[in-house]
Amino acid sequence: MSYQEPQPDRPRRRGPQPPQQRGSGVGRIVGFSCLGVVGLVLVFAVGSAAVLGGEGDSARPGAEPAATASAATPDKAGATETAGRGTHKPAGQPVKIVATRTDFQGSALADGTDYTSVRITISNDGEAGIGVDPLYFSLTGTDGSRHPAELAVDENQIATVELAPGESVTGTVTGKGTFTPAYVTFVDGLLGATVRGDVVG
């Protein structure tokens, strides 16, 4: 009787296997997009800290608080209000506003509603450019009511411009309704610094 060694199992031949599907990469794209957004936020935060950090004297212990642009009290180093000109400009502020009452001059987009306009001149007395846009302004009435700027209803509306150091621009800021304007407020669109000019005339 002959002894036969058992044959090793041979792999069975199978039909062609379908190729394995890789992920579509959507997860990777979403991941990189989120990473990009986080990176932009960090860059913006560092840049803002660097810009605001330049004014860091007020952060030192014992330092006097820095003057705010909306301060109403005159100070000896830099007048916050020029008599008869309606200007608030604390020392070191790069933006100066002169505001006077003016008649509303309706544009083709005015719908017949009552509006109140103020003629302003905004000047860049700083060392860097500043952006000016009608959306950066609002009017406050003598009764304390706040009126955001209405766009394109006055034909003399202030232009959207970038002011280089030493430049200025003049135009109107218009609020909806009939009211007596007390002051105009300019808020820098990037950093949120506020400058106020009293309305005279």
pLDDT tens per residue, range 14-70 = 555 555 555 556 556 656 566 666 666 665 665 555 545 544 444 444 444 333 333
3 state SS of 157: strand
Percent of the chain with pLDDT over 90: 45
CATH number at residue 102: 2.60.40.1240
Task: Report the pLDDT value the prediction gives residue 77, as an integer from 0 to 100.
Answer: 36
Tell me whether residue 134 is in a domain: yes
For residues 51 and 143, membership in a common domain is answered with no
Tell me whether residue 48 is in a domain: yes
| Structural domain for 173, as ranges | 95-200
Task: Report the pLDDT value the prediction gives residue 46, as an integer from 0 to 100.
Answer: 56
What is the chain's alpha carbon radius of gyration, rounded to the nearest angstrom? 32
Task: Report the pLDDT value the prediction gives residue 112, as an integer from 0 to 100.
Answer: 86
Q: Which residue has the higher pLDDT, 32 or 117?
A: 117
Give the total number of structural domains in the chain.
2
What is the rounded average pLDDT of the residues 91-112? 88
Task: Report the pLDDT value the prediction gives residue 58, as an integer from 0 to 100.
Answer: 40
